[in-house]
């Protein structure tokens, strides 16, 4: 039985790095490759997103090709509907607004909220990846709002103070989630 794993967290907390390490640990995970209308960041891997025009994105919305989508930071972001033939667990690296859309459709999903040990660490990571001061300030404010909004969902919180440790913690959470899913799928007489 495959699971949907939703990973969220404010900008600059290292979600992408942790998710890449998690997929190295668990090669049976399929990472949902989000679409975006924003421009690639300097040095960003062009495979990290499907970069599209606003017209292409709006056409995909109209065709109901997204599990969730949102508009923030002057760009659209969305998670495409997965291939139903894929037996792997699906990992969605999305914001809290998108997670709320997933929770409405898939309440059985595992929700993980990644954060940094401190706001200073978050700021340093954004500056280190090339964000402008204006982007950093906007993302710090959005991060505070995201942390508050995340309290409305059943997130398990993981601190990214060490990428390997954080990825291993999430891997263990996925194992626990599978056990719970299997128990819930059993008929009542099988539990006796």
Q: Coil, strand, or helix at residue 155? A: coil
Cα separations in angstroms, 188 against 75, 78, 179, 185, 191:
47, 38, 16, 9, 5
> Residue 145's pLDDT is what?
92
Cα separations in angstroms, 79 against 4, 31, 98, 122, 135:
12, 10, 9, 24, 23
> Residue 165's pLDDT is what?
98
* End-of-domain residue from the set 81, 115, 147: 81
> Residue 12's pLDDT is what?
85
pTM of the predicted model over 0.85: no
> Residue 32's pLDDT is what?
92
Contact 90, 82 (CB under 8 A): yes
Indicate the number of domains in the chain. 2
Specify whether 104 is located in the same domain as 172: yes
> Residue 192's pLDDT is what?
52
**Which letter does DSSP use for residue 83 in this model?**
P
Contact 123, 129 (CB under 8 A): no
Domain extent, residue 54, equals: 33-81
Q: Coil, strand, or helix at residue 180? A: helix
> Residue 164's pLDDT is what?
97
Specify whether 97 is located in the same domain as 182: yes
Specify whether 69 is located in the same domain as 101: no
Q: What is the pLDDT of residues 22-65, one digit of tens each?
A: 999 999 899 999 999 999 988 888 888 999 999 999 999 999 99
Specify whether 126 is located in the same domain as 49: no
The segments of the chain whose pLDDT lies below 70 read 1, 187-192
Strand order in the sheet with 29-31: 29-31, 89-93, 4-8, 110-115, 156-159
Specify whether 99 is located in the same domain as 51: no
> Residue 130's pLDDT is what?
87
Specify whether 39 is located in the same domain as 27: no
Specify whether 65 is located in the same domain as 10: no
Specify whether 53 is located in the same domain as 143: no
Mean pLDDT of all residues in the chain?
91
Specify whether 102 is located in the same domain as 185: yes
- CA pair distance 114, 102, nearest whole angstrom: 17
> Residue 191's pLDDT is what?
53
Specify whether 102 is located in the same domain as 22: yes
- CA pair distance 6, 175, nearest whole angstrom: 15
Specify whether 45 is located in the same domain as 14: no
> Residue 89's pLDDT is what?
93
């Amino acid at each position: 039985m495959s699971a949907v794993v939703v990973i969220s967290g404010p900008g600059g907390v290292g979600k992408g790095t942790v998710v890449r390490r998690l997929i190295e640990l668990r090669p049976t995970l399929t990472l949902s490759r989000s679409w975006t209308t924003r421009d690639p960041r300097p040095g960003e891997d062009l495979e990290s997103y499907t970069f599209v025009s606003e017209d292409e994105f709006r056409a995909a919305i109209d065709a109901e090709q997204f599990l969730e989508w949102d508009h923030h930071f002057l760009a659209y972001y969305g998670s495409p509907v997965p291939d139903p033939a894929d037996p792997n667990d699906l990992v969605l690296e999305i914001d809290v607004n998108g997670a709320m859309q997933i929770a409405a459709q898939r309440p059985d999903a595992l929700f993980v909220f990644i954060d940094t040990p401190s706001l200073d660490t978050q700021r340093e990571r954004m500056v280190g990846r090339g964000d402008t001061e204006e982007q950093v300030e906007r993302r710090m404010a959005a991060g505070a709002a995201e942390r508050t909004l995340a309290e409305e969902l059943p997130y398990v919180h993981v601190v990214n103070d060490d990428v390997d440790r954080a990825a291993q913690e999430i891997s263990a959470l996925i194992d626990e989630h599978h056990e719970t899913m299997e128990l819930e799928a059993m008929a009542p007489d099988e539990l006796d």
